[in-house]
Amino acid sequence: MMTVSVLRIAVAGMAALAVAMGIGRFAFTPILPMMQDDFGLSIIGGSWLASSNYLGYLAGALVATAWPLRSRGVLSGSLLAVAATTATMGLTENFMLWAVLRFAAGVASALMFIAVSTRCMTALAERGRPKLTGVVYAGVGSGVAAAGLLCLLLMQYDAGSAWAWRIVGLVALSAAVIVLPVLGAIVLPLAPAVSRDSRAGIGRHAGLLVLCYGISGFGYIIPATFLPVMAKAVVSDAAMFGWSWPVFGAAAVVSTFIAASRAAAIGHRSVWIASHVLMAIGVLLPVWLPGLAAVIGSALLVGGTFVVTTMTSLQVAQEVSRGHAARLVAAMTAAFALGQIIGPVVAGLLFDAGYGFSGGLVLAGMLLLLSAILLWRAAPGNTN
């Protein structure tokens, strides 16, 4: 039986998600400007590396839909894999090997995210403290902010990208040593059998939710991949442009707690719609107002909405599917991952075609506004 407290479970889950997302998925973002300086990595090259990671995340998510991630081995293996693949990025200069490592990190991140979520959500619900799940999901933004601050510090000391990858990988390994004893002590109950009814009740607007959640993935990932690079293009001082990514992560942490209270008052769909509008404004800010202030504003608005979008959209899926959301959530997750894969590549191609970052940002912003309109029109009170 578990002997660990609910607070330790929540904090351990937060730290684990900080590794899975802040390092396994998004450490590449603040290190990309350093790789440009060290190896002359192009925007299109960075786009392909980012998409390789997101393709791995999609593969991991698809594996999770067919293979229950309930064993301690999946948890420990995926956490150690994130640490190993991250550190190894700093031991090679081969682009193809970088792509393979980023793909593997994406797979491990997806497996880890699902395994940690399952364990923590189950344990907290069993102990009557489901509201502490907000602490667990705050780990996403915490990891993003911590990775950004660490890279900012390393740039101040003129450390290269190779050392950044090694150090961030060591941080992930240290976190694994701390959190695995806590999360590994959680005993999961036997999974209930899946009925035929649970496969059928996915609701009237399932296709729309899949589309809009896929747009979420496409919309946020372009600034989430290139914000530090955009900031560096405005001001070359690392002490200035390096703050864009920590701001992004800090906004993600704070917004999770604010959104939870607002969703209780106005509903999850309304918060999701508002998040898409705010995200669209954040995506378009660097186009409207060139300069570092616009990039930081984009970090605040996009960082403050991308985790909220995930939280609220999956709650809407639960509502629409009348409690039988397994297939709908799987489809939405796949669409989100596909949006993440396509986004950086489209942005990179538009950049190389002479449109700069504005081309990808305008496309993403327009799609986000369209999705907000579609979600509003499909709301129960607005349907014909």
CA distance 334 to 348: 22
Q: Which residue shows structure tokens 């209270």?
A: 261
Specify the pLDDT at position 163.
95
**In a 3-state reduction of DSSP, which class is residue 235?**
coil
Q: What topology is assigned to 196-379 in CATH?
A: Growth Hormone; Chain: A; (1.20.1250)
- Determine the distance from the C-alpha atom of residue 213 to the mean position of all C-alpha atoms in its chain, rounded to a whole number: 13
**Contact of 248 with 144, CB cutoff 8 Å:** yes
Judged against a pLDDT cut of 50, whether residue 237 lies above it is answered with yes
The amino acid at 126: E
Judged against a pLDDT cut of 90, whether residue 189 lies above it is answered with no
Task: Report the chain's mean pLDDT, rounded to a whole number.
Answer: 83
Specify the pLDDT at position 325.
56
CA distance 334 to 220: 16
DSSP labels, 123-150 = HHHHTT-GGGHHHHHHHHHHHHHHHHHH
**Contact of 219 with 365, CB cutoff 8 Å:** yes
The tens digit of pLDDT for each residue in 82-107 reads 999 999 999 999 999 999 999 999 99
The tens digit of pLDDT for each residue in 245-259 reads 788 888 888 888 787
> The whole model's pTM is what?
0.79
Judged against a pLDDT cut of 70, whether residue 311 lies above it is answered with yes
The tens digit of pLDDT for each residue in 156-175 reads 888 889 999 999 999 999 99
- Domain boundaries, given as residue ranges, for the chain: 1-188, 196-379
151: confidence class by pLDDT, cuts 50, 70, 90: confident
Domains 1-188 and 196-379 share a fold: yes
What sign does the CA torsion over 138, 252, 155, 79 have? positive
Q: Average the pLDDT over 143-154 and give the result.
A: 87
Range ranked top by mean pLDDT from 66-80, 277-291, 316-330: 277-291
CATH architecture of the domain covering 1-188:
Up-down Bundle (1.20)
349: confidence class by pLDDT, cuts 50, 70, 90: confident
Range ranked top by mean pLDDT from 3-7, 13-17, 123-127, 180-184: 13-17
Query: What spatial distance separates the first Cα and last Cα of the chain, rounded to whole Å?
Result: 52
- Rounded to the nearest 5 degrees, what angle is found at the Cα of 36, between the Cα atoms of 290 and 216? 55
Range ranked top by mean pLDDT from 62-71, 118-127, 185-194: 118-127
